[in-house]
Amino acid sequence: MIRASFDATFDGWRAAARQLLESGAEPDSVLWDSAGGEQAALDGFAADAPASPIDGAPSTRFRVPRRFFELAEAAACHASGERWALLYRVLWRLNHGEPHLLEVAVDPDVHRLLRMEKAVRREVHKMHAFVRFKEVEGEDGTAHYVAWFEPEHPIVERATPFFAERFASMRWSILTPLGCAHWDGESLAYSPGLPRSAAPGDDALESLWRTYYRSTFNPARVRTNAMRAEMPVRYWRNLPEARQIGELVREAPQRVRGMVERQGLPPELARPPRRGQDG
C-alpha cells in the first residue's frame, strides 16, 4: 500500500496524483492521507496537455479532458473523505483504456463525481444567497463587515471571490467552521475556521433585513415546500429575516383576505395555497 500524503487542496492532490500516475500506482494500492505532507515541486497536470518528466524519468504522455479538471476542482471542495480516491480512480481510468469515461453518466464513479460537483455548486450558490454581513467597528475605528455562515462543504475559497467583486469597496470577513475569508479592499486572505461564538451579535443591519423581507413577502404566493427547497431550514438560524417566516406564514390567510377585500375581488380568491402546497 502506498501512502500519499498531501495538503487537502486540489493543487496538493494534483501534485500527488501526477507522481502516482507516473509511477504506475494503481488506485487500489493508494491510501490518501490529507493530513498534509511535503510535496515535491511539480508542475502538475495541464488540461488536454502531455505531462512533463518527473525526477528525470522518461516522459509519459497523459491527456486529461478539460471537463475532468472542471469536475475535479469542484469535487475537491466536497466534504466526503472519499473524494481524493475517487478523483484518482477516474483519472487512472481516463488514462488506461477509457478516454471517454466522463461521457458514461451511469458509470458509478462518474455518477458519484457528478453528484459531488452538483452538491458543491449548489452550496456555493447558497453561500452567495444567504451570507448576511453585520457592521462592526474595526481596530482603526472604521467600519468592518462580518458574516457567519455554516457550509456543508469546504467551499470558502471557491465561493468568496464573488464577494470580493460584489463588495469591493467594503472591508469584510466571512467566518465559517471550515475556514474564514477576509477582504481588505485589495486582496483576499484565508484563515482557519472558527466557532459560532466568534461571530458578532445583532446590529442595525439585521433590522433592515427583517424590514425588507417583511415588505417583500407576498402572502398570496406562500409555498412552504418550495421555500424550504430554495432556503433549506439549516440556514434559517443565521438569517435575520428567517425569524419572521413562521409568523408571516401564519398571517398569510388573513393578509390575503384583506388584499381581496380592498380590491373588491371574488371571495374565492381569498384562499391562499395550503401550507406545503406547491401548485
Please tell me whether residues 76 and 154 are part of one structural domain.
no
**Which pLDDT value is given to residue 1?**
87
Domain boundary, last residue among 153, 171, 198: 198
Q: For residue 236, what pLDDT band results from cuts at 50, 70 and 90?
A: low
In a domain, 264, yes or no: yes
Q: Are residues 92 and 17 in the same domain?
A: yes
Residue 210's Cβ-side half-sphere holds a number of Cα atoms within 13 Å equal to: 15
In a domain, 140, yes or no: yes
Q: What is the mean pLDDT of residues 128-138?
A: 85
Q: Which domain holds residue 43?
A: 2-125
In a domain, 184, yes or no: yes
Q: Is residue 79 part of a domain?
A: yes
Together in a domain, 13 and 116: yes
101 and 29 within one domain = yes
Q: Which of 198, 226, 257 corresponds to the end of one domain? A: 198
pLDDT of residue 51: 37
* pLDDT tens for each residue of 61-98: 677 899 999 999 999 999 999 999 999 999 999 999 99
Tens of pLDDT, residue by residue over 250-277, are 555 555 455 545 555 455 544 555 544 4
Same domain? For 194 and 210 the reply is no
Judge whether 179 lies within some domain: yes
> Would the pLDDT of 171 be above 60?
yes
Q: Is residue 232 part of a domain?
A: yes
The pLDDT score that the predictor gives to residue 200 is: 74
DSSP per-residue letters across the chain: -EEEE-BSSHHHHHHHHHHHHHHT--GGGEEEETB-----------TTSPPPPSTTPPP------HHHHHHHHHHTTSS-TTHHHHHHHHHHHHTTT-TTGGG-TTSHHHHHHHHHHHHHHHHHHHHHHH---EEEE-TTSSEEEEEE---SS--HHHHTHHHHHHTTTS-EEEE-TT-EEEE-SS-EEEE----GGGS----HHHHHHHHHHHHH--GGG--HHHHHHHS-GGGGGG-GGGGGHHHHHHHHHHHHHHHHHHHT--GGGG-PPPTT---
Q: Is residue 275 part of a domain?
A: no
Q: Which amino acid is at 229?
A: A
Residues 107, 144 within the same domain: no
My answer on whether 229 and 187 are in the same domain is: no
Give the pLDDT confidence of 43-68 residue by residue, as tens digits: 344 444 433 333 334 445 677 899 99
Residues 219 and 181 in one domain: no
Spatial CB neighbours of 123, under 8 Å, sequence gap ≥ 6: 151, 152, 153, 155, 159
What pLDDT, on the 0 to 100 scale, is given for residue 117?
98
Mean pLDDT score, 237-242: 58
**What pLDDT is attached to residue 217?**
47
User: Is there a single domain that holds both residue 43 and residue 10?
Assistant: yes
Q: Where among 183, 198, 213 does a domain terminate? A: 198
Q: Considering the chain, what percentage of its residues have pLDDT values greater than 90?
A: 50
Average pLDDT, the chain: 77
> For position 132, what pLDDT does the model report?
86
Determine, yes or no, domain membership for 279.
no
Residues 181 and 236 in one domain: no
Query: Do 115 and 137 sit in the same domain of this protein?
Result: no
- The sign one gets for the Cα dihedral 27, 43, 57, 35 is negative
Do 193 and 103 have their domain in common? no
Structural domains of the chain, count: 3
Tell me: the pLDDT tens digits for 31-40? 998 865 444 3
